[in-house]
């Protein structure tokens, strides 16, 4: 959300989202950037966002505002900063140097926008950089940079999205899918969410509160998935107790890797509250 929009920053305290991103970059006009920076810092310091992570998307260090953005974010209490158009580990190192110089806590994370061809080609090294916690796909800019056309099936983007997911998984980073710009295209949004989850994305970045409910449904384990995960865990535990390495459930082999994935499903369900009121596992 634009950090220059005070109403949006306030409303974010009650949105059912995991993360709120205060944008100082594309969503803010050049003349409004200093004021937006002050508003973002004040909101982050003011708190009230509960379990929602507060992330500040800064301008790049190659701009007139980037260094001041990072310096302010370092002292804001925000959970992390989102760097735009990251193309190499050098961009991460430069941001980390400024954050450290201005007293950012060691737990302050760095998120990286992957939104250019160079960013995609360098995503493995970027994901492996110190303090990087998440990759965020900038699909709109990437489509433009590729010279491609926006399509509902996103075929032109699939190679880039796949490479980024591989890098995120190789380095144990969170990865978020890009935004869906057409707020009236509910069907297209649902298709993109389903595709993103099937590809392995952990969630989706959003541009309007009306998209939150559908995204939460798409990326939360369903009741059927939760039930099957529990059965897989139980079947595997029973097999291990009996001295066997594998079990058979509904005619399919269940090994350690399946049990580990089932545990991940339960952990995700617990995190998003998908198990329902009064039935959340501790």
- Predicted confidence band at 278 (pLDDT cuts at 50, 70, 90)? very low
Torsion of CA 104, 107, 108, 114, to 10 degrees: 140
- Coil, helix or strand at residue 138: coil
- Predicted confidence band at 276 (pLDDT cuts at 50, 70, 90)? very low
Count of helices and strands (H, E) across the chain = 12, 9
| Residue 34 clears pLDDT 70, i.e. is over it | yes
- 215-239 pLDDT, tens digit per residue, is 999 999 999 999 999 999 999 999 9
Q: What is the pLDDT of residue 31?
A: 97
- Predicted confidence band at 2 (pLDDT cuts at 50, 70, 90)? very high
Q: How far apart are CA 145 and CA 167, in angstroms?
A: 20
Q: What is the pLDDT of residue 245?
A: 87
- Coil, helix or strand at residue 11: helix
Q: How far apart are CA 250 and CA 51, in angstroms?
A: 38
In terms of Cα–Cα distance, which of 172, 101, 168, 100 is closest to 135? 168
- 245-265 pLDDT, tens digit per residue, is 899 999 999 999 999 999 989
- Coil, helix or strand at residue 28: coil
Q: How far apart are CA 210 and CA 230, in angstroms?
A: 32
| Domains annotated on the chain, with CATH | 6-219 (3.20.20.60), 223-272 (no CATH)
- Three-point CA angle 20, 23, 27, nearest 5°: 130
- Tell me what the pLDDT averaged over the chain comes to: 94
Q: What is the pLDDT of residue 22?
A: 98
Q: What is the pLDDT of residue 271?
A: 79
Q: What is the pLDDT of residue 275?
A: 43
Mean pLDDT of 36-48: 97
Q: How far apart are CA 198 and CA 4, in angstroms?
A: 35
Asked whether 24 and 59 are in contact (CB, 8 A), the reply is: yes
User: What are the residues facing 109 on neighbouring strands?
Assistant: 80
Supply the pTM of this predicted model. 0.89
């Amino acid at each position: 959300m634009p950090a220059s929009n005070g109403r949006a920053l306030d409303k974010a305290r009650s949105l059912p989202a995991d993360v709120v991103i205060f944008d100082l970059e594309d969503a803010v006009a050049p003349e409004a950037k200093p004021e937006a920076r002050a508003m973002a810092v004040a909101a982050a310091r003011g708190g009230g966002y509960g379990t929602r992570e507060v992330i500040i998307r800064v301008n790049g260090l190659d701009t007139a505002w980037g260094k001041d953005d990072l310096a302010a974010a370092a002292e804001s209490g925000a959970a992390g900063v989102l760097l735009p158009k990251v193309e190499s580990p050098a961009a991460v190192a430069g941001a980390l140097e400024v954050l450290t110089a201005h007293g950012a806590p060691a737990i302050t994370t760095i998120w990286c926008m992957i939104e250019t061809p160079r960013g995609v080609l360098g995503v493995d090294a970027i994901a492996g950089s110190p303090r990087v916690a998440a990759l965020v796909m900038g699909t709109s800019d990437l489509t433009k940079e590729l010279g491609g056309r926006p399509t509902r099936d996103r075929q032109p983007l699939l190679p880039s999205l796949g490479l980024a997911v591989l890098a995120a998984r190789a380095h144990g980073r969170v990865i978020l899918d890009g935004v869906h710009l057409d707020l009236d295209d509910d069907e297209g949004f649902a298709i993109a969410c389903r595709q993103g989850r099937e590809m392995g994305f952990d969630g989706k970045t959003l541009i309007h509160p009306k998209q939150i409910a559908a995204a939460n449904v798409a990326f939360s384990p369903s009741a059927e998935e939760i039930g099957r995960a529990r059965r897989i865990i139980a079947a595997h535990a029973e097999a291990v107790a009996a001295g066997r390495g594998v079990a058979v459930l509904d005619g399919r082999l269940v090994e350690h890797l399946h049990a580990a994935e089932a545990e991940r499903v339960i952990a995700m369900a617990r995190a998003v509250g998908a198990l329902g009121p009064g039935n959340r596992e501790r």
